[in-house]
């Protein structure tokens, strides 16, 4: 399985741009640039009613934000998750099984499906 991740903003390559970048993986509850312990705390805050629900907080995509999401985020942090769901370049949810064998990263100022298609057919030897 080949996964194509498109970084649609060149600013994300620099530390200054990192603060405006959202890692679009379900489980990134606070919608920043990483999945970390802050996401566990954020989901707990949603459960407690002190934080607002975000589109990435429902890590397991079961329609509710609860302890099961915290458990999945903790599995991601430990590297024990068996699958992850990302939002691709076209705004579609894509679930990938782990381990991931190949990843192609496309960096461009715009996100176009044609680039994804062109890249899928190429094997440049870069892993």
45-76 pLDDT per residue, tens: 999 999 999 999 999 999 999 999 999 999 99
77-113 pLDDT per residue, tens: 999 999 999 998 888 999 999 888 877 777 665 555 4
Measured between its terminal Cα atoms, the distance across the chain in Å is: 13
Kindly report the pTM of this predicted structure: 0.67
The pLDDT value given to residue 104: 75
Domains in the chain, ordered, with CATH? 2-120 (1.10.1330.10)
Nearest to 6 by CA among 86, 97, 125, 99: 86
Which residue's structure tokens are 């079961």? 62
6-16 pLDDT per residue, tens: 333 333 333 44
Nearest to 36 by CA among 45, 46, 48, 28: 28
């Amino acid at each position: 399985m080949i996964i194509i991740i498109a970084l649609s903003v060149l600013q994300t390559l620099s530390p200054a741009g990192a603060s405006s970048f959202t890692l679009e993986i379900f489980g990134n509850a606070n919608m920043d640039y990483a999945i970390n312990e802050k996401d566990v705390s954020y989901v707990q805050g949603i459960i407690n009613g002190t934080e607002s629900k975000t589109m990435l907080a429902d890590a397991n995509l079961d329609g509710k934000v609860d302890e099961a999401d915290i458990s999945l985020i903790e599995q991601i942090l430990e590297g024990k998750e068996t699958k992850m769901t990302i939002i691709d370049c076209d705004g579609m949810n894509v679930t990938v099984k782990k381990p991931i064998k190949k990843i192609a990263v496309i960096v461009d100022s715009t996100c176009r499906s044609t680039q994804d298609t062109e890249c899928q057919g190429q094997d440049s030897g870069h892993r």
